Homo-oligomer: A and B are copies of this chain.
Amino acid sequence: MLSLTCKTAIKAVIYLASKHQSGHKASIKEIAEFIDASEHTVGKMLQTLVREGVINSVKGPNGGFYVSGKQINQPIISIIEAVDGKEVFRQCGLGFSKCSSSHPCPIHDDYKVVRDLFEKMCREKSVNDLCEPVNSGLAYLFG
């Protein structure tokens, strides 16, 4: 459902959230290394997130990326919408470009339940919700 870039974005933002308390700004290289992703992908993707207001950045020496107190409480759906767009949660399970209740694919009703459950989770989980288990060693950002 989510592109690889989007999954990388979620991990990166959670990483930044884990540094929020310390006030530390993380570089592209540092983030990429920690989440085991390509620097180039991470760099390009972080720019998109900054542009969409999901995270912040500072150029120059001691520059880097960080999240504000408000941003740490945003739901992860804002990351998803910034990278993959809003249509992620309206995609047809069988690849139709137009699938609706008036012209449905054969699994439309069943798939809608799955998709809506996923969307609900993405709306309800904040960056901080996912960051806490990482900070306490119960979840990881690589594997």
Contact = CB atoms under 8 A, between A and B. Distances in A.
Given A107-B125, A121-B110, A134-B106, A142 B96 contact: yes
Contacts of A107: 10, 76, 121, 125, 130
A1 B91 CA distance: 11
B94 A7 contact: yes
Interface residues of A, number: 41
Contacts of A104: 138-140
A111 to B, nearest CB: 7
Interface in A67-117: 76, 92-99, 103-108, 110-111, 113-114, 117
Given A117-B117, A118-B114, A141 B106 contact: yes
